[in-house]
Amino acid sequence: MTAVSICITNYNYGRFVDQAIESCLQQTHPDVEIIVVDDGSTDDSLATIKPFADRVTVIEQANAGQAIAMRRAFEAAHGELIIFLDADDLLDPTTLSRAAASYERMPDLGRVQWRMRVIGPAGEQTTNTFPGIEWKMPEGDLRDRVLKRRNYIWAPTSANAFTRRSLEVSFPAIPEELKILDVVLAETSPMVGRVVNLDGTGGSYRWHGGNWSNRRTREDMGPFFRERIDDIVVGHESLRRVCDVLGVPGCPADPATALDWAFAGYRLSSLRVDKVNHPLPKDRSLAVAVHGIHSVLTQPDYSVKARAKRAVWFATVAVAPPSTARKLIARAFLSLAKAPSLVSTPGTDPEQLTPT
């Protein structure tokens, strides 16, 4: 029987965390460990969590960010499969049983992933999933894809069951100062083993306007793009270290050479929004745009329409007057703040620039 650890990371989600815990307690899998790390919440989170203390492990820490909370939870976990559940999300009762069955059939896995239904702040049901059903989530041996493109459609943090071996290889390679781990774990876990998709959905992703991807305005786009670029560069170094440990050849030295159109999109946006403070001095708008166009037109998982739309975006942003370029960039990166009833799929909507 495969032991599974669910690690809930919480910061000021007192209004949601009890529902997340309840969804874990309702799992049909017989061997489940639940760990809740509260990251220095200042709301009523701890008062909400503590009534569950006889059934879950509760860890309190000073506010250090979600990435540190995830590491702390993993240190306390004993399972062979590890799920990092955001405190505002939910798991379906049979998800752990299904993930464990996949692992037992293929113990060389890197991770199991699934789609999530999108719900509103009060649990309002929508017809949307994350990623959307119109988007193909690749599975199997993804090493070549990650090394060549880095960019692919992957499930949000709460929709992954990582094998212990995958995290034991990945975490030491990731600097502790990296604040967001979902992207780098999506890239490093395929180096350890195959990725398997569960059929259908495995939980609920709550879209409430406080999700990190919504926290951007027209005024702070420059810092946002610089932070994303820095995270991708650091994440690439983590990927290189994992490849070195595992003896996986072919990891490029420079992340800008990968056919990663989203990275090209961040770089082009940074150049057009705040060129003076752009962190990669060798970048030039036209060259980055051409690379982005080539990358997206050769992306195997997108429709012709989705590829063409992004290619046109790159070409237009590169040559448009600054005010027009800024509007196009804002439209691409700020429109994720729509209500869940209006957005097709958060982060993987064909109307959005970013794929994840």
Highest mean pLDDT: which range of 168-172, 176-180, 300-304, 338-342: 168-172
User: Is the pLDDT score of 63 beyond 80?
Assistant: yes
For the whole model, what pTM was predicted?
0.90
**Could you count the other beta carbons within 10 Å of the beta carbon of residue 72?**
19
pLDDT for the residue numbered 317: 97
DSSP H helices, 247-321, are 261-274, 285-297, 304-319
Q: How confident is the model at residue 350 (pLDDT cuts 50, 70, 90)?
A: very low
In the chain, which residues fall in CATH 3.90.550.10?
A: 1-105
The answer to whether the CB of 228 falls within 8 A of the CB of 255 is no
**Residue 315: strand, helix, or coil:** helix
Q: Read off the pLDDT of residues 141-197 as tens digits, 9 standing for 90 and up.
A: 999 999 999 888 999 999 999 999 999 999 999 998 888 898 899 999 999 999 999
pLDDT for the residue numbered 334: 72
User: Is the pLDDT score of 102 beyond 60?
Assistant: yes
Average pLDDT of span 16-23? 98
User: Is the pLDDT score of 351 beyond 60?
Assistant: no
Average pLDDT of span 70-92? 97
Which CATH superfamily is 1-105 part of? Answer: Spore Coat Polysaccharide Biosynthesis Protein SpsA; Chain A (3.90.550.10)
More confident position, 336 or 98: 98
pLDDT for the residue numbered 243: 97
pLDDT for the residue numbered 342: 31
pLDDT for the residue numbered 353: 45
pLDDT for the residue numbered 136: 87
pLDDT for the residue numbered 180: 84
User: Is the pLDDT score of 77 beyond 80?
Assistant: yes
Mean pLDDT, rounded, of the chain: 90
DSSP-assigned beta bridge partners for residue 10: 38
The answer to whether the CB of 5 falls within 8 A of the CB of 83 is yes
